[in-house]
Amino acid sequence: MERAAVVESRRVLLGICGGIAAYKVCSVISSLAKGGTAVRAMLTQRGQAFISPLTVATLSRQPACTDETFWQPVQGRPLHIELGEWADLLVIAPLSANTLAKLAHGLADNLLTNTVLASTVPVLLAPAMNTDMWQQQAVQRNWHQLLQDERYHAIDPGAGVLACDRIGTGRMAEPEDILTHIDSLLHSQGRRDLRGKHLLISTGSTREHLDPVRFIGNPASGRMGIALAQAAIHRGATVTLVHGPLEEALRARLGGIKPVGVTTAEQMHRAMLTHLPLADWVVMAAAVADVRPTTQAATKLAKADLPDALPLAPVPDIVADLAQKRSPHQRLIGFAAQTGDIVPPALDKLQRKGLDAIVANPVDVEGSGFGGDRNQAVLLTRAGDKRAIPPCSKLSLAHQLWDALLQAGF
């Protein structure tokens, strides 16, 4: 049964509080606007001390809203009502300790806090403050109290050197992390429909070394599996990610995810079996090597010492072993990177490996497959469901896969 892709509304209302981290918001606004998302911004009085309304208006292509414009009606309607009803998502970045306290107690004494109360859409919070401020018992109490409300979603502050020269927790999340979470919430509309599920996901390539500098591998970067993990975390799941070697920039995307790093197929095999008992869904998105050299040199081989023919041995069939050892309630989803007509070999793998579903994606089509941030796929289930997902970001593809699997009763 074919299903159409979800059409997302993309209207983001951004609230900017006082804090040096406000400069990071410029990148968020610019990226959203350039990507076709409608963006409007509100600045608190303290927020204007760090970033000007003119800057925000220029980047968003929309007039900036401030407390000075609070009581200027828009087509006869109060501004905070009009803004609250316009938005699909409200983002507050940076979130100050002062505004956090107001939100936790339902106070509304400026445009930003009034708009939050006049709206019902999800709210994404990205706090930023000095470490001692963040660790205050009162601030933590307000933070945890606010997050008990299902409407609020959080990006916890990171650790590092702060503007006050303190080293500790309090840095606002980086723009890329905020943008990823925004994309997730625009798609899911704040649903936590994977809450209570533990997902075990593999990603990236494995490497089978001949010597310390030569190996059999493939171009898989791990981006698809990371997108699957991020989308699942944003929808409430617990995720363990077993990954092959990753670039440092990709490692930075693993916030909230339990990472398990491996190199070889044998190591991935052991890690997947170790974490299998706790999983509800198991997703094999990794591109695992099929063979390995029968010998591995401890030091680099000279060119003259390289064998004319390389003896090879098969590596463990991880998917087949998982299918045999899983419990009846566990669901097993595979991936099939293919060239040409991708559906027939994926269907064969679905049946032969004992999978519940398989995701076939082309690696010979420009803008899809290994290495990039975009992909396309066909999802096939054992029950006969079929869903084609046209070219999109890997994060969007991940969300559409979770949508389809939930609809299929997984």
> In 210-302, which residue ranges form alpha helices assigned H by DSSP?
223-234, 248-251, 265-275
Report the C-alpha gap between 40 and 91 in whole angstroms: 10
Give me the residues paired with residue 393 across strands. Answer: 374
> What is the rounded CA–CA span in Å between residue 256 and residue 121?
23
Cβ contact 32:91 at 8 Å? no
Q: For residue 362, give Cα distances in angstroms to 70, 343, 355, 376.
A: 51, 10, 19, 7
Q: How far apart are alpha carbons 346 and 379 in whole angstroms?
A: 9
Contacts of residue 29, defined as CB under 8 A and 6 or more positions apart, other chains included, come to 14, 39, 41, 56, 59, 60
Question: Which one is catalytic: 17, 26, 65, 164?
Answer: 164
User: If 0-12 CB within 10 Å is exposed, 13-18 middle and 19+ buried, where does residue 145 land?
Assistant: middle
CB 206 within 8 A of CB 216: no
Q: Which residue has the tokens 């019902």?
A: 120
Burial call 384-406: b when 16+ CB within 10 Å, e when fewer: ebebebeebbbbbbbbbbbbbbe
CB atoms within 10 A of CB 358: 27
Distance from C-alpha of 243 to C-alpha of 136, rounded to nearest angstrom:
36
51-79: b or e for each residue (b if 16 or more CB lie within 10 Å)?
bebebbbebbeeebbbbeebeeeeeeebb
Sign of CA dihedral 18, 174, 25, 231: negative
* Active site annotation includes 164: yes
Q: List the catalytic residues.
A: 164
